[in-house]
Amino acid sequence: MQIKDIYNQTVDLFNQKVDIDIIESSSLKCLIKSSFEKSNSYSPNTNNDDDDYNSLISIYNEVNSKTYQIINSVKSDWKQLDIIYRDIYSYSSILISYYSLAQQSSSSLSIEDYLLSLYTSNNNNSSNSNIIQSIISKLDYSLVFGGNLFYKLIIQFIDCLTVYVDQQLSFSSTNININYNNSNNNSNNNNDQFNLHLNINKSNEIERVELPSLQLFQSKYMNVGRPVIIKQSMQHWPAITTRPWRNLDYLKSVAGLRTVPIEIGSTYLDDKWTQQLMTINQFIDNHIINNSNNSSNSKREIGYLAQTRLFEQITKLRNDIVIPDYCFLSNSNSNNNQDQDQDSDPIINAWFGPSGTTTPLHFDRYNNLLCQVVGSKYIRLYSADQSHLLYPYENDILSNTSRINIESVDLNEFPKYKDTNYFECILNEGEALYIPPRKLI
């Protein structure tokens, strides 16, 4: 699909699905109607001068800015916000991006030919790169803050652009200066920053098995809610073999320019916890490499890429993993998994953080298969029948989270905790942990 086709589909979809009459702000409604009039007079198949493009970009920038302010005013509590504002934000982001590219290309070139010319001629310079990078950043913002209506079109738009960006990076690979000396280490190297060494109580240790059949996994573990570590289930993943995520150079080359939300703080229960948008390049430099180089600094700021739709956003990373067949099974006991749609596709999330990253004790309402691609992670699980001993928060937002800090339990405040029993493990690189619904982790 060409970028012009994405533009046309975006306009058609907006006209079919979005009713601007429900917008409460009369000034915003008038602004959007005015932007429509301008864009309706524009044709991607005819010549347009700079003034035309400047006018279109200017008015859609204003629409984009106003809807962003409205979205940001609710501080991510988007349930109280009509979805139309997020859809308009996405829509205006796509149009700004398209008009900016169309303005750069000459009337005799398609946008794709223009992009091609940037790295097959002497036009390959930093200003051209900055234009593309700023457009990718704007589209990434719309993936974070926008609605779902234009989500797939935005992904397709970015994929069209990254064909150029990847080639651009191959011309300027010396700009990726990563002093990363662990890329050739094996998992048995005690000096490897990604390895974890703790003593596990054998009586509490989660069982390890090697590639059980689907029938055995379902009957012995899934149907009875029994956690298990599956070995050798990821050895064929490109993320571990041919395109290893252990190599930070690779991650930066594939995804470094992409903007993602990063959690800042020790955990989401921290009073100072917040989120920041940054590129993956910035995240790796500031929170992975810098964290490793300053591992003795106990006051260092923790940054964590947690539970994001990363693989929808960056399709090249999605191609580096393979969904295990176990994820397509369902519990025979529907009551054990009542909060998950049995017919839905697996939900794929990503977590990426430095050493010392922790997650508060909490539970999920669905089956999880936690696949450890790089490094090791200590994990402790409590059965659902232990919940009354773990002091969950009483408010709705955190009702699935314990008030107890497992690393330093105050038994005076939480005396029942001493009666708990748990399972534990160190999940190693290349292993997958099955976590049943409502197991507290």
Tens digit of each residue's pLDDT (9 = 90 or more) over 286-324: 999 877 666 555 566 889 998 788 999 999 999 999 999
* Segment 400-439, tens digit of pLDDT: 888 998 888 999 999 999 999 999 999 999 999 999 997 7
Q: Whole-prediction pTM value?
A: 0.83
The residues with which 209 forms a beta bridge, in sequence order, are 230
- The band of 333, judged by pLDDT with boundaries at 50, 70 and 90, is low
Q: What is the count of structural domains for the chain?
A: 2
Cα 147 → chain centroid: 15
Looking at 175, 191, 222, which one is the last position of a domain?
175
pLDDT at 188: 41
Residue 271 domain-assigned (yes or no) = yes
427 and 297 both lie in a single domain: yes
The range of the structural domain enclosing residue 394 comes to: 208-435
160 and 225 both lie in a single domain: no
Residue 268 domain-assigned (yes or no) = yes
221 and 166 both lie in a single domain: no
222 and 123 both lie in a single domain: no
CATH number, domain of 416, equals 2.60.120.650
431 and 367 both lie in a single domain: yes
Residue 195 domain-assigned (yes or no) = no
- The band of 76, judged by pLDDT with boundaries at 50, 70 and 90, is low
Q: 259, exposed or middle or buried, with CB in 10 Å at 0-12, 13-18, 19+?
A: buried
396 pLDDT more than 80? no
Residue type, 231: K
Among 15-24, 94-103, 174-183, 225-234, the minimum mean pLDDT is found in 174-183
170 pLDDT more than 50? no
* Segment 98-119, tens digit of pLDDT: 999 988 886 667 888 888 777 6
> What is the pLDDT averaged over residues 386-397?
86
If you average pLDDT over every residue of the chain, what do you get?
84
> What is the pLDDT averaged over residues 48-69?
90
CA 373 to each of CA 240, 320, 350, 402: distance values in angstroms, whole numbers, following the listed order: 7, 11, 10, 27
pLDDT at 46: 67
- Dihedral of CA atoms 118, 124, 125, 126 in degrees, nearest 10, equals 60
Among 21-25, 88-92, 154-158, 371-375, the minimum mean pLDDT is found in 21-25
Angle at 92 between CA 87 and CA 97, to 5 degrees: 130
Residue 441 domain-assigned (yes or no) = no
